[in-house]
Structure 1
């Protein structure tokens, strides 16, 4: 089991909201209105760990190890929402999200192949780590800068934990896992070719609720994310390349095969998929 070891590792570096956030360094003159508004949107977005956890537990019912790890991931992700709301409660109480605004992002996700979902969230942690690092640079107020730096480190650690479960999946399922990971890896490393930000909170996950079936579509300002990325934190091609490089680097380690570009990863995906087809293995494992 991976859960006991991962619990110890994450417990050892867990930050305390009272002691480790420099609340006394707050400088009201350094917080703009537009910056404060983005904090509210991110607080609501982080609340979406709740429906994501419900999805993970449902789709990994046969995997008690991974499901137990969700207790750690869920706790730390909900704390992200909580610390952003605590910042607003202290310094901009008029912007604290209402319970209804938070509840809006809790809805059921359609079932999906567990391995593809695992890879999707692994890539999501990499992307969010880079978004928050860029947000920390964009913000000017010292406390919120420190908060985003803290959250970015958490997201990186979560990505590392997901990577452990991906390695385990390859050991268990071989080419089926490799094909699933490569498929989603190609998608998530191709953001430059899409009009939308490729992150789990911005993907459609409930056909019956379409088009209000993304987390972002259910925010008070559904257009917020694109504006935040493009106009505010300016997550440009340089930063996007950092995300792609990290995905390709980790895929290279995971598959024991060097990928210098998305095109190379896609060729590998086709090769592994063809091998599965030749072997008559079309089904997906039910859990990671």
Structure 2
């Protein structure tokens, strides 16, 4: 069971909203209205950890270890939303999200394969870590720069925890897990080939609500994410390469095989798929 060890390790590095955020350093002259509005959008986006947790608990009923870890992940992700809202409450109270706006991003996600979902969120943590690091560099106001740096570190630690559960799955189900993880890895490392940012909050998750079934589509400004990435924080090809390299590096560690490119990972995916297919035919 991983939960006890993860609880201890994450508890040791947990930050305090009252004492670890330098609220007294706030400089109003260094925050633009445009920047403040993006903080609101991220606060609402982070609130979607609530329906994601409900999804994880529903789809992992037979895994008490992972479900217990959700207590940590949910707490820390909701804390991200809370600290961004606290920033707005102190310095831009007119932008604090309303309860109705937060309620909009709590909706049911359709059931999905457990292993694919785990890998999807692992990649999402890597991407979010880099988005927030980039956002910290873009912002000019010192307190919000510090907040984004702190929560980006949380996202990296969450990714590490997910990786531990992925390793556990490899030991339990072997090639079934390898196929699931490599398939989603190829998808999430191929963002440059898609028109929209590849992150769990920007993917369709409820067929009955389509097309209003992504977290981003339910925000007060559904188009803000692309504008934030492309025109504001400037998450360019250099940053995207860092995300892809990190995914490939972790897949190399997970599968004990070197992947220099997405094509390398895709070739591995095909090998695993062929092994599973051959095993299935042999069983018949």
- The match for 2:40 is 40
C-alpha separation in 2, matches of 1:172 and 1:258: 22
Post-superposition, which runs of at least 4 consecutive aligned residues in structure 1 deviate over 3 A?
A: none
- The match for 1:267 is 267
- The match for 1:176 is 176
C-alpha separation in 1, matches of 2:100 and 2:79: 18
Instruction: Point out where structure 1 has 5 or more consecutive residues left out of the alignment.
Output: 282-288
- The match for 1:286 is none
- The match for 1:239 is 239
- The match for 1:143 is 143
- The match for 1:60 is 60
- The match for 1:206 is 206
Please report how far the alpha carbon of residue 92 of structure 1 lies from its aligned counterpart in structure 2 after TM superposition.
0.1
- The match for 2:101 is 101
For residues 81-121 of structure 1, give each alpha carbon's deviation from its aligned partner in whole angstroms, at most 9, with x where no partner exists: 00000000000000000000000000000000000000000
- The match for 1:284 is none
Q: Within 5 Å, give how 1:79-118 maps onto structure 2.
A: 79-118=79-118
For residues 4-53 of structure 1, give each alpha carbon's deviation from its aligned partner in whole angstroms, at most 9, with x where no partner exists: 00000000000000000000000000000000000000000000000000
SS of corresponding position for 1:51: helix
SS of corresponding position for 1:109: coil
For residues 127-175 of structure 1, give each alpha carbon's deviation from its aligned partner in whole angstroms, at most 9, with x where no partner exists: 0000000000000000000000000000000000000000000000000
- The match for 1:5 is 5
TM-score normalised by the chain length of structure 1: 0.97
- The match for 1:218 is 218
C-alpha separation in 2, matches of 1:277 and 1:105: 39
SS of corresponding position for 2:231: helix
- The match for 2:192 is 192
TM-score normalised by the chain length of structure 2: 0.99
Count of residues paired in the alignment? 281
- The match for 1:20 is 20
- The match for 2:162 is 162
- The match for 1:120 is 120
C-alpha separation in 2, matches of 1:218 and 1:49: 14
C-alpha separation in 2, matches of 1:11 and 1:227: 35
SS of corresponding position for 2:43: helix
Query: Larger relative CO (CA 8 A, sep 6+): 1 or 2?
Result: 1
SS of corresponding position for 1:90: helix
- The match for 1:251 is 251
C-alpha separation in 2, matches of 1:157 and 1:67: 17
Please report how far the alpha carbon of residue 264 of structure 1 lies from its aligned counterpart in structure 2 after TM superposition.
0.6
**RMSD of the TM alignment (CA)?**
0.6
For residues 156-206 of structure 1, give each alpha carbon's deviation from its aligned partner in whole angstroms, at most 9, with x where no partner exists: 000000000000000000000000000000000000000000000000000
C-alpha separation in 1, matches of 2:245 and 2:11: 29
